[in-house]
Structure 1
Amino acid sequence: MTTGFLAALLAGAFAGGFINGLAGFGTALLSLGLWLQIMPPPQAVAIVVVMSVVSGLQGLWITRREIRDRPGRLARFLVPGLIGLPMGVTLLNVISAPVLKLVIAGFMIAYGGFFTLRRSLPRFERPTPGMDIGIGFAGGILGGAASLSGALPTMWCAMRPWPKGETRAVLQPYNVGILGAAVALFALQGLYDRETLTLIAFALPATLIGAHFGIRLFHHLDDTQFRRLLIGVMLASGLALALRELI
């Protein structure tokens, strides 16, 4: 392990932990940009899902009250998402994952760009349990087919007038649950060999430190700033995903 390799590994771990601590998701957005330059894609993805789950568990603590107060809302997203995850894995034999990623990236760019330029944010005030279930299910499918489980739930939650704690109380445990299931699937596929586990051990402290700083910044955001942060992360994620697939 060279000094340059270790520096890129730790930088990606810290950046991924920071954005997860701040927004409740997005570890892959910053980590994979560095890790795909120093390791094979299967290894990079296997590590990033572990880092996402670990930093997400740290973030769950700050929204524990909101999660406890509205367990039904979270269940409407998470349970269908877990059902959709293996279906998405099965779809990999039928559809082209790169094409699907480009389509979703285009949607994320259009969504993020449109609402970034708008002065006022959309507000869906009325309860929409059916839509919540559908979004959670579709997110699970996209997670299994293209590792994009958080895209649709994040876009949907950013359009709801929920306080930042309530929004995070959906997104954070949703992503932890979906990615935790992905870790189990990857383990069954034998992706966590000795080398990968060693890299995880090196990256884990940097991820936890980054998540800590992200959580501290999260506390300084008001509800509107947090919703705009989600929209901005969607735009950045779409651009990064499109460039990665095209290049």
Structure 2
Amino acid sequence: MVDSLLLLITAAFLLAGFIKGVLGLGLPTVAMGLLAVTMPPAQALAIVIVPAIITNVWQTFFGPYLRDIVLRLWPLMVGTAVGIWLNRGMLTGPYAPYAAVVLGALLVIYAIIGLSKFRFKVARSDEKWIGGIVGLMTGAISATTGVQVIPSMPFMQAIGMEKDELVQALGVFFTVATVALAFNLTTAGLLTAATALPGAVAMVASFTGMFIGQAVRNRMRPDVFRRWFLIAMIFLGIYLAASALLKIHG
């Protein structure tokens, strides 16, 4: 049983790390989606959280924009941390069985937004107050599912950051969000010694996948890879939500 779990974790984080290496994001989203098929989202998040923090910290300091990002996105980050704290019981409370349903729906929404050509812009003068609201919404969703891409990702794309700045901004934002989630997991007693070995396996697999993804990034078209990745997320999200509903009502 343990061996099969470690094999699943290795495969999930190799794929998630590879996608992060190619696209600059996606590790918690992919890993949570794959692990939640076989375990409760709270248990999956306890395995995901440490690799997510460390890979995001690495991404945070890989670029020259850190000061500007903090000054520009602090309302988003503060709002997210507050939203996560206010909804800290969602993964372990009476509504916990529905977390996989929400996660599946979130993966589908995330993929559809990514595949669509719809784009919107946020004026520089409105970034702060809109960012705070988006942060609160992102925090509430993240506390329920462990995923922080909706609606934060569309917001960061809408404020018009340059490509390299956006990649670093994602690292900064996801670091803040995952640290806040780690605090929730610690207070709920989910981060224990039992998660040390799975977390270590996930860490090694994540960095291995990231290095492979970075190595092949220049040999493939990221836009084509991203399209097929998002299509796969739709099917994974549908399967995850449907199987969770069958368990709840079955």
Q: So what's the TM-score if we normalise by structure 1?
A: 0.77
The structure-2 alpha-carbon separation of the partners of 1:138 and 1:94, relative to structure 1 and needing over 3 Å to count, comes to: farther
- In the alignment of these two chains, the number of paired residues is 238
Aligned match of 1:112 in 109, 114, 120?
Answer: 114
SS at match of 1:151: coil
Deviation at 1:182, TM superposition (A): 0.9
Deviation at 1:74, TM superposition (A): 2.4
Q: Which moved more, 1:140-149 or 1:125-134?
A: 125-134
Measure the CA separation in 2 of the matches of 1:3 and 1:137: 39
Identity among equivalent positions (%) equals 19
Partner of 1:118: none
Partner of 2:123: 126
Ranges in structure 1 where 5+ consecutive residues have no aligned partner: 116-120
Measure the CA separation in 2 of the matches of 1:58 and 1:202: 18
Measure the CA separation in 2 of the matches of 1:105 and 1:221: 24
Measure the CA separation in 1 of the matches of 2:87 and 2:73: 21
Q: So what's the TM-score if we normalise by structure 2?
A: 0.76
The structure-2 alpha-carbon separation of the partners of 1:230 and 1:174, relative to structure 1 and needing over 3 Å to count, comes to: farther
Q: Amino acid of the residue matched to residue 55 of structure 2?
A: S
Partner of 1:164: 163
Partner of 1:83: 82
Partner of 2:241: 245
The structure-2 alpha-carbon separation of the partners of 1:39 and 1:100, relative to structure 1 and needing over 3 Å to count, comes to: closer
Q: Which moved more, 1:234-243 or 1:180-189?
A: 234-243
Partner of 1:189: 188
Deviation at 1:221, TM superposition (A): 9.3
Ranges in structure 2 where 5+ consecutive residues have no aligned partner: 244-250
SS at match of 1:73: helix
The answer to whether the Cα contact below 8 Å between 2:32 and 2:44 also exists between their aligned partners in 1 is: yes
The answer to whether the Cα contact below 8 Å between 1:153 and 1:171 also exists between their aligned partners in 2 is: no
Aligned: 1:17 with 2:14: no
Measure the CA separation in 1 of the matches of 2:76 and 2:220: 25
The structure-2 alpha-carbon separation of the partners of 1:70 and 1:51, relative to structure 1 and needing over 3 Å to count, comes to: closer
Measure the CA separation in 2 of the matches of 1:220 and 1:67: 29
Aligned: 1:144 with 2:146: no
Q: Which moved more, 1:122-131 or 1:88-97?
A: 88-97
Deviation at 1:110, TM superposition (A): 3.8
Deviation at 1:67, TM superposition (A): 1.6
Q: Counterparts of 1:37-76 in structure 2 under 5 Å?
A: 39=39, 41-63=41-63, 65-76=64-75
The answer to whether the Cα contact below 8 Å between 1:59 and 1:215 also exists between their aligned partners in 2 is: no
Quote the RMSD (CA, aligned, Å).
3.4
The structure-2 alpha-carbon separation of the partners of 1:213 and 1:187, relative to structure 1 and needing over 3 Å to count, comes to: same
